Structure 1
Amino acid sequence: MLRLGTALALIATAAPALAEEVNLYSYRQPELLQPLTDAFTEATGIEVNVAYIDKGLEERLVAEGDRSPADLIFTVDISRLAAAVQAGVTQPVESAVLEENVPAQYRDPDGQWFGLTTRARIVYASKDRVDPSEITSYEDLADPKWKGRICTRSGTHDYNVALVAAMIHHHGEEYAKQWLQGLKDNLARRPQGNDRAQVKAIWAGECDISLGNTYYMGQMLSDPEQVEWADSVNVLFPVFENGGTHVNISGVAMTKSAPNRENALKMMEYLTSPEAQEIYAHANYEYPIAPGTEADDLVKGWGSFTADDTNLMTLAEQRGAALRLVEEVDYDG
């Protein structure tokens, strides 16, 4: 008859060791995260499982409740991070490492989410038809001199809503509405397509300037069919008249259920390290935010800018007002 200690030892030897893991729900495609997750696993031995979710992430987490396998949420845009917080599917995280690596304007004041990389909302301008000195501010876009010369995607898209929210923050709702009406009056065509489609329209001569995120330039330059579009425009970094260049973020939040909380925290802290910041930013043509980190040479080649220092959660609070203004001026009509 086996003694109890011997039996337990045999069972422990026979049973496979439980793998250390962390589970991500991501709005970003797994291939965009692959270089980062591979580096994290190599550094820590913790396996990373990524579930790509095209839409309805918050609803899925609500439905799963405490049974959710997700530890972390990866997403882009402050509105999506704020939506996760409002849905009650995240939890606050306290970490000296995160607070040291993530500047205050790029993290939730209550620790519910932390930014990882930034992208600027900039102007793409025709090299042939626009003098770069003509556009220095976002406010300039409502100037009648641009009538029939601007292309944008839908006004209700998260990227444009965030910009309108920033305009409200800097100037108030009445001014923001007038600005939005002026921008609409200057459109060359009804809002349509994505940010790259606007650059294609500039290349085709349909308009002269457009709004877009910086990383789309990198994506166009890496696509042989779109290099011509990218080469037809300059990247300009306008500012608010009383602020800096509007930026948005990619970010991470820990889920309320987080079955692997310790591993999730390790990954969050790793993601804000200089090594991980540069891997992630370089893979996606974005800007790292940790102190002492630099963007990829290609990205730096587009020019330098001073980011607006407004906390992004402040802008998220204006999202409802921004959407209302877009509807009131019938921007997409």
Structure 2
Amino acid sequence: MMQSTSRIVKAALAIAAAVGALGASSVFGFLPGNQAQAQPRELNVYSARHYNSDKEFYDRFTKATGIKVNLLEADGKVLLAREALGQKPPADVIILVDAGNLVFGAETGIFQSISSRELRAKVPAHLRDPEGRWFGLTRRFRVPMVNPDIVDPDTITSYEDLVNPALDGKLCLRSSKKIYNQSLVAYQIENTGEVKTSEWIQGMVGNLAPASQPLFTSDGDMIRAVGRGDCGVALANTYYLGQRQGGDKGPEDKALADKVEIAWPDKVHVNISGAGVTANSPNPEAAQRFIEFLADESADYAKANREYPVLGAGSDPVLQAWGSFNEDNVNAATLGRNNATAVRLMEANGWSQ
């Protein structure tokens, strides 16, 4: 624990120095009242999810319980750094995207273990921490997406198929700096080992399309490029496609996204957004109740952003139209455990932008 605490504090200091010049108001979005110490009927929630729809659920929680939610939004690593450094206001709950970030928070002592029969019943075992320090609230799938006029979706039945020489000059990838890609590589390490994962990375880099050099910085831009035919196939998170096919991003994006199809692998890598109660929470019982509330509302909480709930496909017609698939039940905790190795392999094998 001494090494872990030192590591998070060092990271926290580096992040704090990087963002300090911006000023808190330019980095963090405060709702009224969240600069004050939390009272017994208040919760301070740090969130790396930046969706207006989430705030509607926090309002529902307040109406149901009378507990006010004070919200602070920022990048996940910044939020973890603030909590590690003891900055005010202290968090009761931290909501993060990607299992890698949740594992980091748990291993560095930021989250505490909680015992909740309700959460154990509603969140499958592979989508929560074995020690009860964090729980998945939505599922996110990073999968191949194709333009069927360029790449037959039936020719891609696994992540390994992305190294097929037939895809030379057709593959688009997002930057390796994004943790979504790091977690996908971490998943491959768990399934196939370091040697085969290194070969897989090399093969994908060798198939990059001209449009993907330099690498994309957003999934949305990649999906547009697939729709235009600049890429034959790309790796992206499903909710980016769902938002666009559902018309959430406007008619132009919808027209391009409607030209894109998912090529579901035989075993689909699953990632999550989730939450944990902080070790220093002044209100741990209310914090646990808040997470239980979001889990109880999981289908709707996920639907608002076109994500998958932790169970099933929910009622979103866009997601239902994509059909069924075979989710790989590798525990999400492995994504964080393999992160450092994943980053090292990506840098060593050409996926380094």
What's the TM-score, normalizing by structure 2? 0.83
Aligned to 1:184: 205
Aligned to 1:259: 282
Aligned to 1:63: 85
Cα-Cα RMSD: 1.7
3-state SS of 1:119 partner: strand
3-state SS of 2:203 partner: helix
- The within-5 A match list for 1:37-52 is 37-52=58-73
Aligned to 1:207: 231
- The within-5 A match list for 1:129-168 is 129-168=150-189
3-state SS of 1:284 partner: coil
Aligned to 2:35: none
Letter in 2 for 1:109: P
Runs of 5+ consecutive residues of structure 1 not aligned to the other structure: 1-17
Alpha-carbon distance change, 299 to 138 in structure 1, aligned in 2, over 3 angstroms:
same
3-state SS of 2:86 partner: helix
Contact 1:19–1:47 (8 Å) recurs in 2: no
Name segments (4+ residues, structure 1) moved above 4 Å: none
C-alpha displacement of 1:299: 1.5
Aligned to 2:309: 288
C-alpha displacement of 1:84: 1.1
Letter in 2 for 1:284: N
Give, in whole Å, the separation in 2 of the partners of 1:23 and 1:284. Answer: 23
C-alpha displacement of 1:19: 6.6
Which digits, 9 at most, give the CA deviation of each residue in 1:149-206, with x for residues without a partner?
0001012321111111111111110000001100110011321221111111122322
Q: Which one is further off, 249-258 or 46-55?
A: 46-55
Larger-Rg structure: 1
How many correspondences in the alignment?
Answer: 308
What's the TM-score, normalizing by structure 1? 0.88
Aligned to 2:242: 218
Alpha-carbon distance change, 30 to 228 in structure 1, aligned in 2, over 3 angstroms:
closer
Identity %: 40
Aligned to 1:247: 270
Runs of 5+ consecutive residues of structure 2 not aligned to the other structure: 1-38
Give, in whole Å, the separation in 2 of the partners of 1:293 and 1:94. Answer: 27
3-state SS of 2:145 partner: strand
Contact 2:223–2:241 (8 Å) recurs in 1: no
Which digits, 9 at most, give the CA deviation of each residue in 1:116-155, with x for residues without a partner?
1101111110032222211111010011111110001012
Letter in 1 for 2:268: T
Contact 1:30–1:51 (8 Å) recurs in 2: no
C-alpha displacement of 1:68: 4.7
Aligned to 1:324: 344
Alpha-carbon distance change, 26 to 154 in structure 1, aligned in 2, over 3 angstroms:
same
